[in-house]
Amino acid sequence: MRIDGKGLIDRTKPVRFRFDGKDYAGYKGDTLASALLANGVRLVGRSFKYHRPRGVLTAGSEEPNALVEVVGPTNQTPNVRATMQEVFEGLVTQSQNRLGSLRFDLMAVNDYLSPFLSAGFYYKTFMWPRAFWEGLYEPIIRRAAGLGSLSGKHDEGTYEKAFAFCDVLVIGSGPSGLMAALTAGRAGADVILCEESHALGGRLLSDGGTIGGVPAGEWVASVVAELQALPNVRIMLRTSVTGAYDHGTYGALERVGLHKPARPNLPRECFWRIVAPHAVLASGALERPVAFENNDRPGIMMASAVRTYLNRYGVVPGQRVTLFANTDQARATARDLMAAGVQVAAIIDPRPDAFSVEDCPVHVGAEVIGTRGRMGLRGITVRKGSETFEVETDCLAMSGGWNPTIHLTCHMNGRPRWNEDLAAFVPMEGAVPGLVAVGAANGSMSTHGALVTGHAAAVQAVEALGRKVSVPLPEAEDAPYRLRALWAVEGKGRAWLDFANDVTTNDVKLAAQEGFRSVEHMKRYTTQGMAPDQGKNSNVAALAVLADATGRGIAETGVTTFRPPYVPVSIAAMGAGGRAEGFAPQRFLTSDQASRDRGAPMIEAGLWYRPSYFPKPGETTWREACDREVNMVRQAVGVADVSTLGKIDIQGRDAGRFLDFVYTNTFSTLPVGRVRYGLMLREDGLVLDDGTSARLGDDHYLMTTTTAAAGLVMRHLDFVHQAFCADWQVRFISVTESWAQFAVAGPKARALVNSFLEEPVELPFMGVAPVRIGGVDGRLFRISFSGEEGYELAVPTRFGEALFRDLVARAETMGGGPYGMEALNVLRIEKGFITHAEIHGRVTAHDIGMEKMVSAKKDCIGKAAATRPGLWGPEREQLVGLKASAPISAGAHLFVPGTEVHRETDQGYVTSVCWSPTVDAWLGLAFLKDGRARQGERVRLVDHLRGLDVICEVCHPVFHDPEGEKLRA
């Protein structure tokens, strides 16, 4: 019900929205919760386990009951807190966790089964028979588990991430936060002020009162106006600071577009990483419920929430309100209601010495012991001494005192302190370096206390920044905070602690009785505190009940650890910028468009997109194209873009010496104009990478790495250089991106290459020379990864596309053409060349038959460790070739024919396979125990995944042109 003249909503801007298929009206400035309450809707959800009817409990992000689904044009967001969701024109919402309608939820049968569903029910019930677990229990539990549901469709929404930096981060904008921001802002510090709600002011928007002699609302407005005018203050509304991390880093979730109709490119949420050397935690406090029988009915709310709905939203949630509270402060709710003309049916105060000044029935030393009204509160039962009586009421405002919102102070392992006067936990000082808790978050419960501590923390921060400031403190109420702790009212029935997860006082007592006496064990056994509200409403009361049940004090019982995030953060927001194209950079070759023009499917390799094969009309499978391309290279000429190989330019008088140190073999003796294959080890003796290095000048080398290991090798070279030889005359830099490089291979390769050169060159095998191509300086290497006479022609990247198109066009006139990754792979397997399929991080130079490449004349990285026992010898699996007449697979394992197939009889494994059109057989590269000595033997290849069981012949790994005559032609 709406009250005229109250609230900060904009009554000139009515808004229509939908809940469970019905249209309602609200105003701009309403939350879904306030708008539903204004429309008299009390039942908004069903509880998790017992499917109890539930209504709005709070007015903040801690809401455990009023969780709904927001239905968008492309997505459906579950578990949205109605207390945080602002209404806007066209907002569509629906209730969740129900079978049937919200009013007639078939799952509510669980509530009648509750005697069987107490804490530990799952652990006790679903243990046996074992066979029932997968087939029966799990599907039932899965169906019952969870709260809201997703659309099942891809989320097309826009999500954002961003980084922010400031001197002082102020978290919360109540009296302490505003005072801190104003003080730091006036000092000229760079300030970020984060407020979870959609307006600044915090509890001042709900509580009213006066500050500095003016109504609190006016004071808020004047401070906000000043802050908005300060260029050094950034105000972030709708932003929850979710976590405190090392070295002044904070996570924060901003609701950017969730309060308005979806628009293209408007982010729904933004996840901020904020870096701040100083932070002021002005997060306030959360009011805590009292546990009494059936305290979870729709219409039973926190006293502060009732006050918020009245003063901030102009809404009263009932016609006859009652108050059950154990502090003086909570009485303000009753007084504000009466002032607004709302009937307060009774005030029930459990403190025997409480005052009684209100103009309504006040029952001192009394407790609420029961409630009526399944779908909405109708009445309560009150006990005063030995007498019990009924009070008719449709809204019970309750308060068990306040818990300072200390969560962020615990994110780096800070343990809170128990404060007996407040009956609450307060932050440990210095728990998060740079973060100071102020106001109610630090146990200063009065407005005056909030202003003083907020000001002091800001002064401390700005002085640390070398600034000075003086801001007069306005006067404000400084009433003492008096309460008598009341966690649970004596009684036998079910009294809820954790509304969200349906945990009652009986569950906690049962846990204690069954030996789960530690707060950590109790939490896990009962699931208390493990719902979306993460125990914000229930943790302290639950451990108080546990302390009582185990005969200990609360301080001794201790608390569970608060961990980030403070509020639920959608995965989409957390991972913003990391989906689709944002997942990883896409690296494109200069030949990319030319390859796509020819219909080549592109595959990703080390972030690069490379053509898989180049289909021709009439070809229906990749194999047809691949076989043709292999034959083309073997018989005519093929062109492939090999620019992806890592290229490192190394210069200086000690360049050769450096290469000698990082490669197993010697490069300082390589003549200028020649290329040598090199093998690189890790310091532990295993192979890191291989590739060719060319000597371009006396003090100038060009190293190539494999595509996959280019980054790894650069990091390794940087380490070796900086750690062991930073004083050598050598520097190096990646030139991978600087050159477009094309392999030209086949019997007609020389003719094709020479047709491009201004002056043809005669290069020996493993030679390199500078060349001129169409007026451009390039490089020509005579190297081969195919086993045919091969060249690699390099030009500055800007000319890559033009050269590729031209090379391919001319190759085609010679019976050749482009070839892709598939053919490239077949060509290298036929020739026994290894890739990272073979040098996968577990093989030694000995394993791949290259132990002779480890020079005896010099030290190198990995040399010492490579001689360790177990890294060489016949017991190792050694590189061999395999030949078969039936399909074989990489990943298959090898066995001696006739032996059983199991782990103990395993003889090795296959790393690469292909169909070889050249050899007319299936070929493989494999690692086989003592393999080099076993050439000519037969082995049994088994792949259980693909159902293969094939006899193969063990061969030398080089199938094609073993003498290398073609290479040197």
Partner 1 sequence: MPELIAKSALEGRSLTLGGVTLAEVDVGPITSIALLPGGAKAVAKGLKPLGLSMPEPNSFAEKKGARIVWTGRDQAFLTGADCPDMEGAAVTDQSDGWAVLALSGAAAVDVLARWVPVDVRLAAFPVGRALRTQLNHMNVILLRSGDYAFEIMVFRSMARTAWHELEAATHMVAARAGVKI
Partner 2 sequence: MRLTCPLCGERDRREFYYYGAEDYLHRPSEGAPLAEWDSYLHLRDNPAGVTKDLWYHEAGCSQWLLVTRNTVTHEISSVEMVAGRKA
**Is 683 a residue that touches partner 2 (CB under 8 A)?**
yes
Longest dimension (CA), the chain: 113
| CB of residue 410 to partner 2, shortest distance in Å | 15
The crossing angle, in degrees rounded to 10, of helices 175-186 and 447-464 is: 30
- Choice between 408 and 744, CB closer to partner 2: 408
- Choice between 155 and 649, CB closer to partner 1: 649
Smallest CA-to-CA distance from 737 within 660, 797, 789, 685 is with 797
Contact 440, 433 (CB under 8 A): no
Task: Map tokens 């000597």 to a residue.
Answer: 695
What is d(CA 739, CA 736) in angstroms, rounded to the nearest whole number? 6
969 binds, among partner 2, partner 1, none (CB under 5 to 8 A by kind): none
Which 132-191 positions form the footprint of partner 2 (CB under 8 A)? 163
The 10 Å CB-count burial string (b at 16+, else e) for 478-509 is eeebebebbbbbebeebbbbbbbbbbbbbbbb
| CB of residue 926 to partner 2, shortest distance in Å | 28
| CB of residue 65 to partner 1, shortest distance in Å | 30
**Strand 387-392 versus strand 379-384 pairing type:** antiparallel
**Is 248 a residue that touches partner 2 (CB under 8 A)?**
yes
**Interface with partner 2 by CB under 8 A: which range of 472-480, 582-590, 860-868, 951-959?**
860-868
813 binds, among partner 1, partner 2, none (CB under 5 to 8 A by kind): none
- Choice between 536 and 721, CB closer to partner 2: 721
What is d(CA 672, CA 682) in angstroms, rounded to the nearest whole number? 27
Smallest CA-to-CA distance from 659 within 373, 491, 855 is with 855
Site string for partner 1, 188-217 (x = CB under 8 A): --x---------------------------
Which amino acid, residue 739?
W
Smallest CA-to-CA distance from 766 within 753, 778, 783 is with 783
| CB of residue 641 to partner 1, shortest distance in Å | 12
Contact 97, 147 (CB under 8 A): yes
**Is 722 a residue that touches partner 2 (CB under 8 A)?**
yes
Which 449-488 positions form the footprint of partner 1 (CB under 8 A)? none
One residue of 328, 514, 619, 684 binding partner 2 per CB under 8 A: 684
**Interface with partner 2 by CB under 8 A: which range of 239-247, 527-535, 631-639, 844-852?**
239-247
CA dihedral 852, 855, 859, 861 (to 10 degrees): -50
Q: How many residues bind partner 2 (CB under 8 A)?
A: 25
| DSSP classification of residue 415 | P
Smallest CA-to-CA distance from 785 within 735, 731, 746 is with 746
Smallest CA-to-CA distance from 283 within 161, 457, 532 is with 457
**Interface with partner 2 by CB under 8 A: which range of 299-307, 488-496, 718-726, 915-923?**
718-726
HEC string of 489-542? CCCCCCEEEECCCCEEHHHHHHHHHCCCCCHHHHHHHHCCCCCCCCCCCCHHHH
CA dihedral 295, 301, 303, 304 (to 10 degrees): 140
One residue of 74, 149, 586, 867 binding partner 1 per CB under 8 A: 586
Which 227-246 positions form the footprint of partner 1 (CB under 8 A)? 235-237
**Interface with partner 2 by CB under 8 A: which range of 5-13, 55-63, 241-249, 599-607?**
241-249
- Choice between 73 and 430, CB closer to partner 2: 430
Give me the sign of the Cα torsion angle 75, 76, 80, 86. Answer: positive
Smallest CA-to-CA distance from 27 within 7, 56, 57 is with 7
One residue of 603, 802, 837, 865 binding partner 1 per CB under 8 A: 802
Q: How many other CB atoms sit within 10 Å of the CB of residue 736?
A: 22
- Choice between 182 and 270, CB closer to partner 1: 270
| CB of residue 61 to partner 1, shortest distance in Å | 19
389 binds, among partner 1, partner 2, none (CB under 5 to 8 A by kind): none
796 binds, among partner 1, partner 2, none (CB under 5 to 8 A by kind): partner 1
- Choice between 253 and 348, CB closer to partner 1: 253
**Is 857 a residue that touches partner 2 (CB under 8 A)?**
no
| DSSP classification of residue 932 | G
**Is 635 a residue that touches partner 1 (CB under 8 A)?**
no
**Is 577 a residue that touches partner 1 (CB under 8 A)?**
yes
One residue of 14, 588, 724, 946 binding partner 2 per CB under 8 A: 724
**Interface with partner 1 by CB under 8 A: which range of 293-301, 414-422, 800-808, 958-966?**
800-808
Smallest CA-to-CA distance from 536 within 61, 46, 78, 49 is with 61
Which 589-608 positions form the footprint of partner 1 (CB under 8 A)? 589-590, 608
Which 273-312 positions form the footprint of partner 2 (CB under 8 A)? 273, 275
**Residues with Cβ within 8 Å of residue 742, at least 6 apart in sequence:** 591, 639, 640, 641, 642, 643, 792, 793, 794, 803, 804, 807
Smallest CA-to-CA distance from 863 within 879, 851, 847 is with 851
**Is 749 a residue that touches partner 1 (CB under 8 A)?**
no
| CB of residue 619 to partner 1, shortest distance in Å | 29
**Is 249 a residue that touches partner 2 (CB under 8 A)?**
yes
**Is 729 a residue that touches partner 1 (CB under 8 A)?**
yes
**Interface with partner 2 by CB under 8 A: which range of 37-45, 245-253, 321-329, 806-814?**
245-253
Residues that bind partner 2 (CB under 8 A): 163, 245-249, 273, 275, 412, 683-684, 714-715, 718-719, 721-724, 726, 859, 864-865, 867-868
Residues that bind partner 1 (CB under 8 A): 158, 160-165, 190, 235-237, 256-257, 263-267, 273, 275, 577, 581-582, 584-590, 608, 649-653, 726-739, 756, 758, 773-776, 795-803, 806
